[in-house]
């Protein structure tokens, strides 16, 4: 079983509103678009990691979306960084999880074909690469879950990538969406144009 862990616990300070609740051009919220894509690409489970200050609002929006089934995890201290949210998400996974796709909520334009390629891959750490640049979601196999859980949140997931640099697979994809990171109102405006 492959799961997607959607990292949506951040404060969205540069955006000024929760990124999870921003909308893609078809009207779905970012968190919905990611969950739909993860499922279409073959993920059996989607865990959305929430935290203060926007967690309750995002949870309410998810609950109001009848067609969206996701599991929730809570990161009480998301200011420690994205790795702390990944650690909360991993703790919420069933023991049958073989790998996880680590998916920041501000990267909502990934194609299902990319997810299918990541789900089908047997590498232990797989980074989708478009035009030579690494993007998200990245795939981490269960062999690394305990190591990720023990990492210092201040160092981030880069510590895992650095420790296993020789075994990281860089998977070329035609999908530009793996690089589209929406952090600011200007970024958001560009995606709406």
Summarised one tens digit per residue, pLDDT across range 102-120 is 999 999 999 999 999 999 9
CA dist., res. 160 & res. 22, Å (int): 30
Please write the tens of the pLDDT for every residue from 77-87.
Answer: 999 989 999 99
Position 15 scores a pLDDT of 87
Mean pLDDT, residues 84-99? 95
Residue 66: the pLDDT is 55
Q: How far is it, in rounded angstroms, from Cα 186 to Cα 179?
A: 16
Query: Cα dist. 35→8, 104, 110, 144 in Å?
Result: 12, 11, 11, 23
Checking if the pLDDT of 65 tops 80, the result is no
pTM: 0.94
In this prediction, residues 35-42 reach a mean pLDDT of 96
- Beta-carbon contacts of residue 144 (< 8 Å; ≥ 6 apart): 124, 125, 160, 164
Q: What is the mean pLDDT of the chain?
A: 93
pLDDT band at 20 (very low <50, low <70, confident <90, very high): very high
- Predicted confidence (pLDDT) at residue 193 exceeds the cutoff of 80: no
The reported pLDDT for the residue numbered 22 is 94
pLDDT of residue 12: 82
Domain spans in the chain, listed from the N-terminal domain onward: 2-192
Specify the pLDDT at position 67. Answer: 62
Instruction: Please list the residues that pair with 45 across neighbouring strands.
Output: 3
Residue 79: alpha-carbon gap to chain centroid: 17
Strand partners, 74: 50
What is 2-192's CATH superfamily?
A: Spore Coat Polysaccharide Biosynthesis Protein SpsA; Chain A (3.90.550.10)
DSSP symbols for 122-180: --SEEEEEETTEE-S-EEEEGGGHHHHHHS-TTT-THHHHHHTGGGEEEEE-S-GGGG-
User: What pLDDT digit, counting tens, does each position of 143-182 carry?
Assistant: 999 999 999 988 889 999 999 999 999 999 999 999 999 9
- Rounded to 10 degrees, what is the CA torsion of 84, 128, 98, 87? 0
Q: Kind and range of the H or E element at 141? A: strand 138-141
């Amino acid at each position: 079983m492959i799961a997607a862990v959607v990292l949506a616990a951040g404060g969205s300070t540069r955006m000024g509103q929760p990124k999870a609740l921003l909308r893609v051009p078809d009207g779905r919220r970012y968190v919905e678009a990611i969950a739909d894509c993860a499922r279409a690409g073959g993920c059996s489970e989607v865990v959305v990691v929430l935290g203060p200050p926007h967690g309750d609002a995002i949870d309410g929006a998810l609950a109001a979306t009848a067609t969206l089934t996701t599991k929730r995890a809570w990161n009480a201290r998301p200011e420690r960084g994205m790795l702390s949210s990944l650690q909360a998400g991993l703790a919420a996974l069933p023991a049958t999880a073989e790998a996880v796709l680590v998916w920041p909520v501000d990267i909502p334009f990934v194609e299902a074909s990319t997810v299918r390629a990541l789900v089908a891959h047997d590498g232990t750490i797989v980074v989708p690469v478009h035009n030579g640049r690494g993007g998200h979601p990245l795939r981490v196999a269960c062999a690394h879950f305990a190591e990720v859980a023990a990492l210092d949140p201040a160092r981030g997931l880069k510590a895992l990538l650095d420790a296993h640099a020789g075994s990281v697979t860089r998977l070329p994809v035609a999908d530009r969406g793996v690089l589209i990171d929406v952090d600011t109102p200007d970024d958001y405006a560009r995606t709406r144009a």
